[in-house]
Structure 1
């Protein structure tokens, strides 16, 4: 399959170039760019034509994991027609680019700088006005490259990661479905290097912890958090965008990365799953995320006075397609509604309350490894449906209380808007040394049907059994309308099909609320 990929891309690129020639606004060509080590990278190069002599701002676009350089063709064409040199290239090891997949290793990151070198030598690019942008793998690569190459003045990183460990191993919990998806896509469309081969081998043996452990020793240096000091020192303008239900790179890790930036910055969250919010924009379709990306580059590379600096630094999409704006993430989380957890009571379906009054000194236990109807859904599928207004659902009365603890809040008399990251503090006592916990927050109607708002895994590994410990679980950021007549429900169980848990059968977990650290749920409601 790989030997036909270059021919396919050449044909499509030449056809597109013919159409572009008729328009007379830019030229387009397929190039083989030699990287720093001689590795040939397949690239589409778009250069403004009949727009003056230049030099023009340059934007380099590394392709996503498993996708070729055609990924950004629609948006790249629009940018080239507006005076940008754009080089969109297939990431090392995939499709028509040679080399091996190194999971955002040093070579893949250095490729960005090599492409910049080539563009400065072969196109009318301005060395003082260079940007980098990508989706997913291209986003992470762009951020890392910007930290290591001070020539990059602006970045737009869409559906990417700032912390690779927090993405693949959130709270020490491995995303089984996420690893499977990445391994399958990489194996089908590329040539795995030693690390990915090891990850693949462990995943095939159903050893997903082993798969992640193959990457963990280098995870820190493969995430842009390791480049924060350089990004800040360079004053790099960084735009981050992600989806609330991103199944590969969850939004929480982007929040933490954003909070470490000190230069020009903006954070945007939209509804959907991994890359679903911006892929239509990459194809050139109307798209809020890509519109913001182009405006970001227009200001920081062209100097256009388009109002970007005056915009809110944090923008959260609402279900009604509007945007909520905040000065920073602290403003998003300010003045949350506080609910204390009370003891679940009842014979058949014991349920606690999300109450206003303090409640301490109680304890309530569940069995481990008991499946329930509460789960986070299927990676990519559930998040995509969420973006279409069809979130994962669960009947709260049918949640198996032997394997889950449940708390419900008061019924709201009027519509409320949840915007931000709910935060849970709870004291747990496991009977075993390792257990995974999964916390889910639902909006529940009068019939007890809950729509999933947010969730988060949390694993205790190799702890002392039967010793109480207070854990802090920050659920993923979200934005949702809770209609009048609905109420919140919190569910905690020990199994979720999306994750490779460390929960064993025949154990228990007790939840409690000591006076020194009352169990509570904080929800940023408007």
Structure 2
């Protein structure tokens, strides 16, 4: 495991190098025009005296005689403070005071990485305090936004600081544990990317180093501590506080986000009671927002500005009257509107998983969720998700069920779910369920998937498995089938199958097995 982990971290370090080069490019244009855009680089004292590197962009001609709405932008994980300068300049031109700061533990800011812990939440409030005291910001009209790490911190800050009236959380998380430990399975490539980039650009605290080490080591004795650590850093934990504060919350994410899957955002969104909006698009982690960071036209950032215009400025731009759930299909590229998340999955069709099938563990069958970033980006830009030949999948290591050929296109929308009866030969194990769109030649394009791990089961004794696959929007053409494939190894995850383990899937008459597929009404 140590060699595997080091290889993943090395890959992550290489990935961040490219990201940082891009980040440098992001900063050039805004900095070159700093004089006309009133950019100031400042140091702000955060929680406990930690110094945070920041920059402030004010509207042209601001002379202190009037107040402007304030937008605070915490940086993404591992990115420097000029990450948002292109968008900050646009927002300032629209009449906002914009303050971007580097979160503690990274780059110019002091302290150690807290992973959106209480010091990070307190820092956000300190930054707002500073902005209200040192800029022409209006204390009655404060918003926060961010991509990834900045999104998570923004949601948490809004739950703890009543001054925050509007939030745009882009490619973030509401449930940290449900993101990188979904199905009780370690998302090892996601963790290695975060770990590797933090090693290059920041200062990990001893607590964070221990969390990563326990995570990689599958230390079950530490699982309660890991769950508590993640819960403290999840906006879902503070949902009641957030609803009581009643900020307007816009959330956006990508269908193929390999760090923060769309499911956890959708579940959280459904429980918010204030003004809210959910946008889901093709792509991987933070890729839908990327062009906007270069100052190029971008739907996510355009909607973010419209959101703030309405809820901070009071502009009647109609965003509050639009369908609040806005989805973009991975296949058609068109936008669809829904009144709520429940309506997305209102119509479902079951595919029976009949018979009894036994597979052997510890060998990758060839069915995989892809490679972090690369696979979902290919799907985003070229509609090329991971592909496998379903007829050639070795049945010794993969269980396969297929639907009949569809006579019309099937528009999969929302969260497919698996229900089956499993009998393992060992007390612990991992399975990964994949849903494929299978064409006439047997090649299957990945629609969605999810991992599932169990511990402490009695060998030879059956139990029910209920697993939600990652939410998606995908159109299956007429003449194609859907196939459910289950195997036990995927490079995205740490698996827990002992040597020689076997898994038997059955479908008892009184409790039949199935995969339930959510379909859009046509």
Change (3 A) 1:94 1:130: same
Residue aligned with 1:144, SS: helix
Q: Which residue of 2 aligns with 1:5?
A: none
Q: Which residue of 2 aligns with 1:207?
A: 217
What is the aligned counterpart of 2:457 among 452, 463, 476? 463
Change (3 A) 1:200 1:513: closer
Q: Which residue of 2 aligns with 1:444?
A: 438
- Deviation of the 1:400 alpha carbon: 1.3
Q: Which residue of 1 aligns with 2:156?
A: 144
Aligned residue pairs, count: 494
Change (3 A) 1:284 1:467: same
Q: Which residue of 2 aligns with 1:393?
A: 387
Q: Which residue of 2 aligns with 1:341?
A: 353
1:246 maps to 2:239: no
What is the aligned counterpart of 2:519 among 498, 502, 525? 525
1:57 maps to 2:73: no
Change (3 A) 1:208 1:462: closer
Q: Which residue of 2 aligns with 1:348?
A: none
Q: Which residue of 2 aligns with 1:236?
A: 247
Q: Which residue of 1 aligns with 2:375?
A: 382
Q: Which residue of 2 aligns with 1:98?
A: 110
Q: Which residue of 2 aligns with 1:21?
A: 35
Q: Which residue of 1 aligns with 2:447?
A: 453
Residue pair 2:41, 2:54 contacting (<8 A) in 1 also: yes
Q: How far apart, in 2, do the equivalents of 1:433 and 1:463 lie? A: 4
Q: Which residue of 1 aligns with 2:294?
A: 283
Residue aligned with 1:509, SS: strand
- Deviation of the 1:199 alpha carbon: 3.5
- Deviation of the 1:210 alpha carbon: 7.2
Q: Which residue of 1 aligns with 2:358?
A: 365
1:314 maps to 2:325: yes
1:255 maps to 2:266: yes
Residue pair 2:250, 2:307 contacting (<8 A) in 1 also: yes
Q: Deviations over 1:344-376 (max 9, x none)?
A: xxxxxxxxxxxxxxxxxxx22111222201011
What is the aligned counterpart of 2:414 among 399, 414, 420? 420
Change (3 A) 1:306 1:238: same
- Deviation of the 1:515 alpha carbon: 2.7
Residue aligned with 1:289, SS: helix
Q: How far apart, in 1, do the equivalents of 2:369 and 2:24 lie? A: 41
Q: How far apart, in 1, do the equivalents of 2:222 and 2:364 lie? A: 24
Structure (1/2) with the larger helix percentage: 2
- Deviation of the 1:38 alpha carbon: 1.5
Q: Which residue of 2 aligns with 1:328?
A: 340
- Deviation of the 1:516 alpha carbon: 2.8
Q: How far apart, in 2, do the equivalents of 1:111 and 1:209 lie? A: 32
- Deviation of the 1:424 alpha carbon: 1.2
Q: Is the deviation greater in 47-56 or in 420-429?
A: 47-56
Q: Which residue of 2 aligns with 1:123?
A: 135
Residue aligned with 1:263, SS: coil
Alignment gaps of 5+ in structure 1: 1-8, 344-362
Residue pair 2:306, 2:319 contacting (<8 A) in 1 also: yes
Q: How far apart, in 2, do the equivalents of 1:202 and 1:520 lie? A: 35
Q: Is the deviation greater in 178-187 or in 208-217?
A: 208-217
Q: Which residue of 1 aligns with 2:509?
A: 515
What is the aligned counterpart of 1:70 among 70, 77, 82? 82
Q: Which residue of 2 aligns with 1:404?
A: 398
Residue pair 1:195, 1:215 contacting (<8 A) in 2 also: no
- Deviation of the 1:466 alpha carbon: 1.5
Written as runs of structure 1 = structure 2, the 5 A alignment for 1:154-173 is 154-173=166-185
Residue pair 2:369, 2:490 contacting (<8 A) in 1 also: yes
Change (3 A) 1:14 1:212: farther
Q: Which residue of 2 aligns with 1:359?
A: none
What is the aligned counterpart of 2:316 among 282, 305, 329? 305
Q: Is the deviation greater in 127-136 or in 413-422?
A: 413-422
1:502 maps to 2:502: no
Q: How far apart, in 2, do the equivalents of 1:505 and 1:17 lie? A: 57
1:36 maps to 2:47: yes
Change (3 A) 1:417 1:464: same
Q: Is the deviation greater in 210-219 or in 171-180?
A: 210-219
Q: Which residue of 2 aligns with 1:195?
A: 207
Q: How far apart, in 2, do the equivalents of 1:322 and 1:226 lie? A: 34
Residue aligned with 1:336, SS: strand
Residue pair 1:51, 1:83 contacting (<8 A) in 2 also: no
- Deviation of the 1:20 alpha carbon: 4.4
Using structure 2 for the length normalisation, give the TM-score. 0.91
Written as runs of structure 1 = structure 2, the 5 A alignment for 1:345-356 is none
Q: Which residue of 1 aligns with 2:6?
A: none
Q: How far apart, in 2, do the equivalents of 1:103 and 1:211 lie? A: 22
Q: How far apart, in 1, do the equivalents of 2:192 and 2:412 lie? A: 32
Q: How far apart, in 2, do the equivalents of 1:420 and 1:15 lie? A: 39
Residue pair 2:29, 2:86 contacting (<8 A) in 1 also: no
Q: Which residue of 1 aligns with 2:20?
A: none
Q: Which residue of 2 aligns with 1:355?
A: none
